[in-house]
A and B are shown apart, each in its own frame.
Chain A
């Protein structure tokens, strides 16, 4: 069906799909039956491709595709996209630092890994654009201004797609592997990771970036 193809093509660049665009470009005269068509499209995706259509923004009606299937055991190695590695680093930094970080923390970490936003990178090219523009448009990251800062600074958060596509638990496991520690070592994050709505559930409201999360077990001292 056309909508299936439309989704697949938009997905190639990992750009989210808006309902308004769907109606305008694909459905046209059929816009009254949007719900029905959407239902059938989702069904096709699930049965044929093993994908899931997820609404990551309930207010603006924005959708993405995610994969329900894990790669099979012994499947041939796919050529991986290095951007995934970069993204993982940034998402880790944000997650482990409570869900929001000032951009300086991200840039500093990347610089330690020989990725400098001021320079053109051998693999990533224009790093600053990739991180603050491309990843944001793909909804992997959020990059927002901090008011009253001079000079202007921004902060990073997990984007709506990341909330749905990335498993915090898997990430913690990876970090544990890197550091030679048990994932439960980071109790705060571990708790949050286990509470995360299972990736792929279409509940946009539940996945709030973790900034306000760690309210559960606040260390008792309060200086304010």
Chain B
């Protein structure tokens, strides 16, 4: 009976191009068609129910984790019922999804259940640890802050160090090894520090020798310059005293007819005088530069705040020209007798 019925329904299915809305169910086996059409919407319903269960587990996770909650069992019972009607792959997939989610939750519930029995309260622990670390609890300031952590007291600077010292006895860790010269990221780490250490020694020594030598040289240099400058100042004042009214021509002053290099040195030294405000340069009526000593205090310092700069250059040719033009036969600044630089 059944077999012929099925064959008929297959033929009908072929005729109707496999549509499954069951409209043409005439001589076809009503049962076969009925199951078919039922399953489409029925399957949809099944899937919807599965999804509902899955979301129940996901959304109410926290609640369901509580040991007094039995929802998970209910969900699983429902799933079992649904599964009886599952014939197709799609629903099976959903069923497995639900199982995955539910078992994850179940595992966690189991874990939690175990922990409940271990009676360790975290806030009590925190409070005890804080006391150990030396918390100075604030006297009640009447503030019931929501965030108790921020206002529950004042920890001393070394609070965590105190805890750490006590903690260390629980650890079997090695003391930290700090290389004195630091680490290098590149290739064999053990080798580099060795090389560095060897190199460092000679350079340190070398540096020590240098400063003492340099100091000596510098002193001699400086002294010589200063002495020269002072000497020139002396000349300047001397000439000025001899004839206060006549301005001293700059070129006449610095020029040394016998030696170009001495001339240059004179320019160099007089520039110090001017810089330090001990001498001043100005142009006379003929627009020739003149130099004169600066009188003590008075208005001078105030004027000196506005800095003026002037660059003077000289070469051998101009030196000779100047010498001839000014007809200088004798240097106004006598060459020093000091040691040759």
Contact = CB atoms under 8 A, between A and B. Distances in A.
Contacts of B170: 88, 166-167, 170-171, 174
A127 B112 CA distance: 27
Contacts of A108: 122
Contact of A109 (B58, B122, B148): B122
Nearest to A95: B120
Contacts of A34: none
A202 interface: no
B167 A88 contact: yes
Contacts of A171: 170
Interface stretch (B87-95, B172-180, B222-230): B172-180
Interface stretch (B138-146, B158-166, B288-296): B158-166
B10 to A, nearest CB: 44
B160 to A, nearest CB: 4
B99 to A, nearest CB: 12
Interface string B268-295: 0000000000000000000000000000
Interface stretch (A36-44, A55-63, A74-82, A129-137): A74-82
Nearest to A185: B119
A9 B175 contact: no
Contacts of B183: 9, 12
B109 A224 contact: yes
Given A77-B165, A113-B130, A211 B111 contact: yes
A148 B174 contact: no
Given A12-B176, A67-B172, A96-B120, A123 B160 contact: yes
Nearest to B169: A170
Contact of B174 (A65, A116, A123, A188): A65
B301 interface: no
A213 to B, nearest CB: 9
B149 interface: yes
A174 B166 contact: yes
A51 B174 contact: yes
A98 to B, nearest CB: 5
B interface, how many residues as a size bin?
35 or more
A89 interface: yes
Given A80-B165, A188-B117, A214-B114, A178 B190 contact: no
Contacts of A223: 67, 70, 73, 109, 113
Given A11-B177, A12-B176, A86-B160, A224 B72 contact: yes
Contacts of A92: 125
Contact of B187 (A25, A81, A219): A25
Contacts of A113: 126, 129-130, 149
Interface of B is mostly: helix
Interface in A100-118: 100, 105, 108-109, 111-114, 116
B134 to A, nearest CB: 12
A26 B188 contact: yes
A35 interface: no
Interface string B96-138: 0000110010100111011101111011111111101100000
Contacts of B174: 11, 49, 51, 65-67
Contacts of B109: 223-224
Given A9-B177, A86-B160, A114-B155, A97 B172 contact: no
Nearest to A3: B190
7 contacts: A2-B188, A6-B189, A85-B166, A93-B122, A109-B122, A112-B123, A188-B118
The 7 closest A-B pairs by CB, nearest first: A85-B163, A82-B160, A5-B190, A85-B164, A112-B126, A170-B170, A80-B164
Given A85-B160, A88-B164, A114-B150, 7 more contacts: A2-B191, A67-B175, A80-B165, A98-B114, A166-B171, A179-B125, A224-B109
